[in-house]
Amino acid sequence: AQKVTQAQTEISVVEKEDVTLDCVYETRDTTYYLFWYKQPPSGELVFLIRRNSFDEQNEISGRYSWNFQKSTSSFNFTITASQVVDSAVYFCALSEEGSWGKFQFGAGTQVVVTP
Amino acid sequence: DAGVTQSPTHLIKTRGQHVTLRCSPISGHKSVSWYQQVLGQGPQFIFQYYEKEERGRGNFPDRFSARQFPNYSSELNVNALLLGDSALYLCASSRDGNNQPQHFGDGTRLSIL
């Protein structure tokens, strides 16, 4: 069975600090996909990134970066120089090959950025 | 292009009633998935439809059902509502549903009294 664990319930930082969100997953499949989504207070889930299990290269997009390590089954997300607009709940999700639209989401991490 | 649209935005029902939630996917997207998000938790997968066929079903009772129409829009039906069905119901669409990024609507907030 697949499982996604986001151990951090809430992280509070002051603007311009860096924040790292942890995501640990479990799956028996060799082919799988990992995602990060942002859910601002308005409620809609915003897609941030997709990574497949064969691509372990780290990725950077602006102030966002992702560290994928298969050896530890982790897919961590770092926001550099945080801003108030980054305040949201962030979800990590896992999808196995052939599972179609069945995403297994973690419980989410609430990020609070104060000025 | 318009994003995923869901209706209604909010809904209040009483125990035992039934409800129908609607979703229109992004133009060109043929896959629609439904998720239930209880306050403080991550979304839980309910159904996925692709080309009007059910492709996946989560661990939800038979009171939950769904369908997809020829124009790829979808309905989620819940019968015999329970207090525990109170949640945000999210619809997501993707081009072919096979591990592609899903794009979510704003959701329908369902409250059961």
Interface of A with B in 81-100 (CB under 8 A): 91, 93, 95, 97-100
**What does the pLDDT average to over B41-53?**
94
Nearest residue to B89 (alpha-carbon basis) of B103, B63, B109: B109
Please provide residue A86's backbone torsions phi and psi, each rounded to the nearest 5 degrees.
-80, -10
- On whether the CB atoms of residues B66 and B81 are closer than 8 A, the answer is no
Whether pLDDT at B1 is above 80: no
Task: Flag whether residue A41 sits within 8 Å of chain B, measured between CB atoms.
Answer: no
B33 DSSP β-pair partners: B48, B92
pLDDT in tens, B63-85: 999 999 999 999 999 999 999 99
pLDDT attached to residue A103: 93
Task: State chain B's mean pLDDT as an integer.
Answer: 94
Task: Flag whether residue A50 sits within 8 Å of chain B, measured between CB atoms.
Answer: yes
Interchain pair A102, B43: CB under 8 A:
no
Instruction: Determine if the peptide bond prior to B43 is cis (ω within 30°).
Output: no
pLDDT attached to residue A2: 65
pLDDT attached to residue A22: 97
Task: State chain A's mean pLDDT as an integer.
Answer: 93
| DSSP notation for B10-36 | EEEE-TT--EEEEEEPPTT--EEEEEE
Compute the distance between CA of residue B94 and CA of residue A103 in angstroms, rounded to an integer.
12
Mean pLDDT by 10 residues, chain A (115 residues): 89 97 95 95 91 87 93 95 97 88 93 97
Whether pLDDT at B97 is above 90: no
